[in-house]
Amino acid sequence: MGIPIPYTPPHVSLNRVRVVDLPGIAVDSEVRGQVAYDLLSGKAITRYAREWADPLGLPSIYSQDSAQTRLELPRYVTACLQAPRTEARQAAQAIGRRLGRDLGHILLALHRGDRANREARPDWTAADWDRWARINRVWLGGGMVSDPLGQLILHHARDFLVASGQGDFLRVELSPYQGDVALLGAARYLPPSTHHSVCLDLGQTLVKRACLTVTAGTITRARHYSSLAPEWDELGDTGVPDAACGQQVLDFVVDTIVQTLHESERDGLDAGEDMMLSVAAYVRGGRPLGTGPYAHMGTLAADTQGLLADAVARRTGKTVRAHLIHDGTAAAALYAGVPQSAVITVGTALGIGFPPINDEGLRALSLSQ
């Protein structure tokens, strides 16, 4: 393997940041007292879409909390931005404005570190708040902020920051890599000897897949394959990782790896032994942590990476080395060397990563069109 993958501890998560008060600024009633997860995530866009269901013409199927709703509803809202009906366009624009202002409130709460918001996050120390006080550049990535909805969210977030007097210090941008930030960022940790490598972004709603080509140490091509939608409804989220659920998740991940290997071989891309797996879970020592779907795999063995590699070898006869990396940590690698910055991924939940201090040892990125 190349350079070691940095460890991002679970406590840095943004999902539980609560916007209680911003003294001197009128906090939107929809925001006050809410946590970031409820304001800017798949759950948030679902809630707002249901509030605007009539003007959106929202199909009744999306009233159900299901994998289909999580996958399709954000796309439906995005499509409504260009709908022929004025009411649908206006409703979608209102949702984009709401999400953008939510983001602005979250960023301002992080940057200011007001007492009420600190007290609502007792697991954070002064060092955590000091880090956010210094951050002056934030990139957004993930499926929820892909064009054109992402542009709308960005516009209203910037407007809120400007109105608050922080528009010059806090720079917010959309990553040009959009939904591929974690997949491509993870690939930067591939060994320099890599030629072709299977890389996956294991999200809770979608799994993105690609076979990347590395030429003279630079990632030059990404051959994408169709994204897959796992069905996690049966797993639930009890807060306690479970071995039976872990086996179900492991089987799905192995199936996905094997399918991607076969598809890349069909395309004449002979993937090497090393594969990068960005995962929607915090990762320590190659073992997923937390309570999300992928964390269940951590109950099966201390060496989750070895468990995956052995299972793939039994199915394909191919020796592989699977490298797990937290999705926020992966996305942050795209901006290695940029000080006082952060990368926020917006999807089923919020992901966070802080770029390494330099890009020494990371694969360069120069993708051909």
Whether 351 contacts 327, CB under 8 Å: yes
Indicate if 98 and 233 belong to the same structural domain: no
pLDDT at position 233 is: 55
Indicate if 146 and 202 belong to the same structural domain: no
CA distance 326 to 352: 9
Long-range contacts from 171-176, C-beta under 8 angstroms, 24+ separation:
171/136, 171/137, 171/138, 172/103, 172/107, 172/138, 172/140, 173/137, 173/138, 173/139, 173/140, 174/139, 174/140, 174/141, 174/145, 174/150, 175/139, 175/140, 175/141, 175/331, 175/334, 175/343
127 part of a folded domain: yes
348 part of a folded domain: no
301 part of a folded domain: yes
Count how many domains the chain has.
2
pTM comes to 0.94
pLDDT at position 143 is: 86
pLDDT at position 138 is: 98
pLDDT at position 67 is: 83
210 part of a folded domain: yes
CATH of the domain at 157: 3.30.420
Indicate if 159 and 274 belong to the same structural domain: no
pLDDT at position 240 is: 72
Kindly list the strands in the beta sheet with 137-141, ordered across the sheet, starting from the edge strand earlier in the chain. 171-174, 137-141, 341-346, 350-353
CA distance 288 to 278: 11
Q: Which one of 140, 174, 208 terminates a domain?
A: 174
183 part of a folded domain: no
Indicate if 140 and 209 belong to the same structural domain: no
Please enumerate in sequence order all residues whose Cβ is within 8 A of that of 176, keeping only pairs 6 or more positions apart, or say none: none
pLDDT per residue, tens digit, the chain (369 aa), is: 668 899 999 999 999 999 999 999 999 999 999 999 999 999 999 999 999 999 999 999 999 888 889 889 999 999 999 999 999 999 999 999 999 999 999 999 999 999 999 999 999 999 999 999 999 999 999 988 988 999 999 999 999 999 999 888 899 999 999 899 999 999 999 999 999 999 999 999 999 999 999 999 999 999 999 999 886 655 555 567 788 889 999 999 999 999 999 999 999 999 999 999 999 999 999 999 987 899 999 999 989 999 999 999 999 999 999 999 999 999 999 999 999 999 999 999 999 999 999 999 999 999 875
Q: First and final CA of the chain: distance in angstroms? A: 28
Which domain range does residue 15 map to?
A: 10-174
346 part of a folded domain: no
CA distance 253 to 236: 18
